[in-house]
A and B are shown apart, each in its own frame.
Chain A
Amino acid sequence: MSTAEISHGASSLADVGRSLTGEARWGRCEIAFWAVALASVFLLPGRHLILAEIAILGLFALSLDLILGYAGIISLGHAAYFGFGAYAAGLLAIHVVAEPVTGLVIAGLAAALLGFLTSFLVLRGSDLTRLMVTLGVALMLKEIANQLAWLTGGADGLQGIVVAPVLGLFSFDITGHVAYVYCLIVLFVLFLVARRLVNSPFGLSLRAARDNPLRASSIGIGVNRRLVAIYTIAAGYAGIAGALLTQTTAFASMDVLSFERSADLLLVLIVGGTGYLYGGPVGAILFKLMQDWLAGLTPQYWQFWVGCLFVLIVLVGRERMIDWIGPVRAALRPIGAHLAARLQVARDARK
């Protein structure tokens, strides 16, 4: 075979290997993140309802991160797949199988199929076109759900969902313990899969196509096929998140397909940060806690403050906030040392 082989001047192979697998290795922060998540199961039993909501939103945002953060596909209609999965899970529970894990898998596959079919619409065009197309798909789906009231319950929502115990063993309870553990495990498993995926050659090719589609195709990457693949996977993730919501609340309403849900999702991900996988979960925590805290503080104007905070966060920028931590700590150190010295002097004087 003819090759453009170049055989000398090799640099340290160990360095190259380390450099390639660096992002795939587990960092301390990552382990801490999941340790805290696990601890919350035992330490915050009274907060499991909101924690389950956070896990679902985190998974949903992770799904958007896969297409926005890694493939550069912006979407204002990601609720289409979330809602599709939510209704699919509800209808499955009512008509076919009440066991949640089975329902989750089927709902996820159904949403992935919808994602595959609609992916061809978002392949071409600029960001603006994609915003409009994704928005349009979600609006159409919502209207279809509205019109099929005999199936979906229309504006009244899908009622009469009875969810069987998970794997026939664990029944959902009113305190949300089982719901939270169930959602957290699903989030963790799908996170692990996503983590493998983004560190694979496939994941790398997505990032390349995001940065420069012209060059990506010039090194042999069939960009369209890759985008279809990741869009399909992300839709499946969103569908599973929607199915989790239906199963843990035993209810699905038109609201799962709403524009607000898609828009909030974009906000969640941008607050948490794109392209490092934790943006979704972290953004979901910040978003829900902020919402919860501000709603308690000012029941009437909380949305104003939520909006205000998000504008600030996005304007200042996450990177800059993280950059501030170092200098702030450095600035505090002499003050701390000074205070300690003063205290010491005062203590000595008292003796």
Chain B
Amino acid sequence: MTAALETVGLQKRFGAVVATNDVSLKLERGARRALIGPNGAGKTTLINLLTGVEAPTAGKVLLDGRDITALPPHARVQLGMARTFQINQLFGELTPVQTIGLAISERMGRGMDWWRVVGSNPGVIERIGQLIGRFHLDDVMDAPTVSLPYGKQRLLEIALAIACRPRVLLLDEPAAGVPEAERQEILTTIAALPRDVTVLLIEHDMDLVFSFAERISVLVNGMLFAEGSPEEIGGNPDVRAIYLGDSVDG
């Protein structure tokens, strides 16, 4: 069976700095994988390489066995890969309803449709309603995104990725900076993702990582340092020394 997402010898250099060094990752369909590593380990660079925001210096990215290394970001989304950003990347002047509606009509291939009014399709409206409800955005659905509180923006950030109906979902620190009250919401949402969606989670929050991930990859200095089940990683003395410290009980 081909992997849902695979990288082969992926490398990225910024001048003399090697941000990603010979990374070969393999995620089976439906995988719940966490990618952890100390600050500056190259986690976000790796996501940028996977999504096509940056081009690798060497190596390949495969989606369902298909080489997508040369594809631009939007083409990868159309093939079923979606991501969230560590720092919210939203459309300030659009409302949550418009934002999600846009992602859904793009997913349906109606993006170049310039004649019909957005929301003239009942299927689109229903799906927007589901996501708005699920992510507790009902009360702010008509407000410009820029005016939303941070926690709501964070929820919209994730709702937007899910509106793309991804088969492979990359989550870049989804819980970063989220107030405690709304954090649980994000954890529940991520846990409730359908089983056939392949998820790669980058996260600093160890509670989230260990509650969610079935396998964990550890990235250090741009290289894959270790990979294994949460128990193996938690119990690995090298990983603990480098990254986890002694505060986490394996």
Contact = CB atoms under 8 A, between A and B. Distances in A.
A21 B118 contact: yes
Interface string A1-26: 01111111111110111011110100
Interface in A207-257: 207-208, 211-212, 214-223, 225-226, 229
B211 interface: no
Contacts of A17: 119, 125
B60 to A, nearest CB: 21
Contacts of A217: 72-74, 77
B58 interface: no
A299 interface: no
B81 to A, nearest CB: 9
Contacts of A196: 114-115, 117
Interface stretch (A27-35, A150-158, A197-205, A316-324): A197-205
Interface stretch (B14-22, B130-138, B231-239): B130-138
Contacts of A275: 93
Contact of A212 (B53, B72, B91): B91
B94 A208 contact: yes
A219 B80 CA distance: 10
A6 B162 contact: yes
* Most chain A beta-carbon contacts within 10 A, residue among B75, B106, B114, B117: B114
B223 to A, nearest CB: 26
Contact of A10 (B53, B99, B105, B133): B133
Contact of A19 (B105, B114, B120, B141): B141
Contacts of B53: 214, 218
Contact of A201 (B72, B97, B118): B118
B95 A3 contact: no
B117 A4 contact: no
Contacts of B147: none
B133 A219 contact: no
B82 A11 contact: no
Nearest to B51: A218
Given A20-B97, A204-B118, A217-B73, A8 B112 contact: no
Given A24-B117, A197-B114, A218-B51, A8 B134 contact: yes
Q: Which one of A202, A215, A216 has the highest number of Cβ atoms from chain B below 10 Å of its Cβ?
A: A215
Interface string B187-223: 0010011101100000000000000000000000000
B118 A16 contact: no
Nearest to B196: A2
B192 A205 contact: no
A200 B83 contact: no
B44 interface: no
A220 B107 contact: yes
Nearest to B116: A200
A20 B101 contact: yes
A212 B92 contact: yes
A219 B102 contact: yes
A7 B111 contact: no
Interface stretch (B31-39, B164-172, B176-184): B164-172
A16 B78 contact: no
Contacts of B116: 200-201
Contacts of B160: 215, 219
A219 B77 contact: yes
B115 A219 contact: no
B125 to A, nearest CB: 5
The CB with the most chain B CB atoms within 10 A, among A4, A15, A197, is that of A4
Given A212-B91, A220-B106, A220-B107, A3 B97 contact: no
Contacts of A24: 117-118
Given A2-B194, A199-B117, A219-B160, A20 B106 contact: no
Contacts of B113: 200-202
Given A201-B118, A202-B112, A212-B91, 10 more contacts: A2-B197, A6-B130, A9-B134, A13-B125, A16-B125, A19-B97, A205-B102, A208-B94, A215-B89, A222-B111
The 5 closest A-B pairs by CB, nearest first: A20-B119, A220-B77, A9-B133, A202-B114, A215-B89
